[in-house]
Structure 1
Amino acid sequence: MTTSLQREVKQLMYGEGASAAGFIILWGITAVINEEARSYLLNPLYIVPLLTICIILAAGSYFWSIMNSCIKEKRPVRLTAAQRSRFAWLHRLIIIAMITATILMVINLPVSQPLLLILIYSFMWLEYINYFHMRLSYLSPREFKQLLIHRKPARSQLSRALRSK
């Protein structure tokens, strides 16, 4: 018998992984099919933040798979040394990619499509903050009400797991 928490975590695990793969597949298909979009889609200015988003989503999927195992085994979330090391490596990779993406954006902003850039970069930064720092997504009205009452966003699940010993 699966609980609502198990279903939610499983949906997050598969949803984040499918989103990461889906973004890359959709991006690639669009670049092949649409000649007008190809010049934008094959430009590092757009590729770097897209790949960064996909890495963040894949890291999220990996974390939710760990969480799913913990829920199945009815044990608290305690990351192993190897898992901590993987997340530290992923975190460094994401920071480097975000810095690279931001530098590319600043250099190319005057000649780029600003709306598309703003959307991609906003999503990239929001996903990073949502996974590695504070929770930005609140799924139920009760959770959102708690945010309004306490006026302090909660730490993300991954952030809490990385801080616990």
Structure 2
Amino acid sequence: MYHKLTKKLFNLFSGELAATIMFATVWLMFLTSHEWTKPYLTSFTPLFAFLLLEFLLLQGSYYWYLKWRQARRRDFSNLPEYQLKLFRGLKRVNLFLLGVGFVLVIYELISYPKELYWFLFLYLFALAEYINYYHVRLSYQTMGEMKEFKRHRRFRRSKLAEELE
């Protein structure tokens, strides 16, 4: 069971980190190889939403890294208070940035520039990641987890949300 848990935590942190790096790489590849993508990738609002998404993915990766490191020491308690304090601060920063993003959504809807849909997709993706990390778990990977979700018919609190309580 110990090895299964450490492997799962390793996969969670390395997967989030890999997604962060992959998204940035694809972003840069499209920026340099396709002229038509420049307005979508370099305009303020899509760039803001993309950086917000990357910021959130890094937070998730860091959280799972800390849990993996803790599990390797066979410490299955909550994170130390100083680390939880960091995540409480990040949660406030995220809320502020999501609020700025919401104002930008309103602005984009009114002005209706061509990058609205791309920005909206990235913003909603970032919002889903925020909810997934800081409130309820939105992702269920294994059949057992999906069966438990069906049985209880509600989302479980995320591990980070439980620790922050």
Answer yes or no: same fold by TM over 0.5.
Answer: yes
CA apart distance, 1:59: 0.6
Q: Does 1:77 align with 2:82?
A: no
Q: Does 1:138 align with 2:109?
A: no
Instruction: Name the structure 1 match of 2:129.
Output: 127
Question: Superposed, which structure 2 residues align to 1:96-115 within 5 Å?
Answer: 96-109=96-109, 110-115=112-117
CA apart distance, 1:134: 0.4
Say whether the 8 Å CA contact 1:9–1:67 is kept in structure 2: yes
CA apart distance, 1:89: 2.1
- 5+ unaligned residues in a row in structure 2: which ranges? none
Instruction: Name the structure 1 match of 2:44.
Output: 44
SS in 2 for 1:48: helix
CA apart distance, 1:114: 4.3
Q: Take 1:72 and 1:84, find their aligned partners in 2: how far apart are those partners?
A: 19
Aligned length: 163
Amino acid across the alignment from 1:54: E
Which 4+ stretches in 1 moved above 6 angstroms? none
Over residues 91-140 of structure 1, what are the superposed CA-to-partner deviations in whole Å (9 max), with x where a residue is unaligned? Answer: 12211221112211210222234442332222111111111000111111
Q: CA RMSD in A?
A: 1.8
Could you tell me the TM-score, scaled by structure 2's length?
0.89
Could you tell me the TM-score, scaled by structure 1's length?
0.89
SS in 1 for 2:74: coil
Moved more, 20-29 or 112-121: 112-121
Say whether the 8 Å CA contact 1:70–1:76 is kept in structure 2: yes
State the identity %: 27
- 5+ unaligned residues in a row in structure 1: which ranges? none
Instruction: Name the structure 2 match of 1:153.
Output: 155
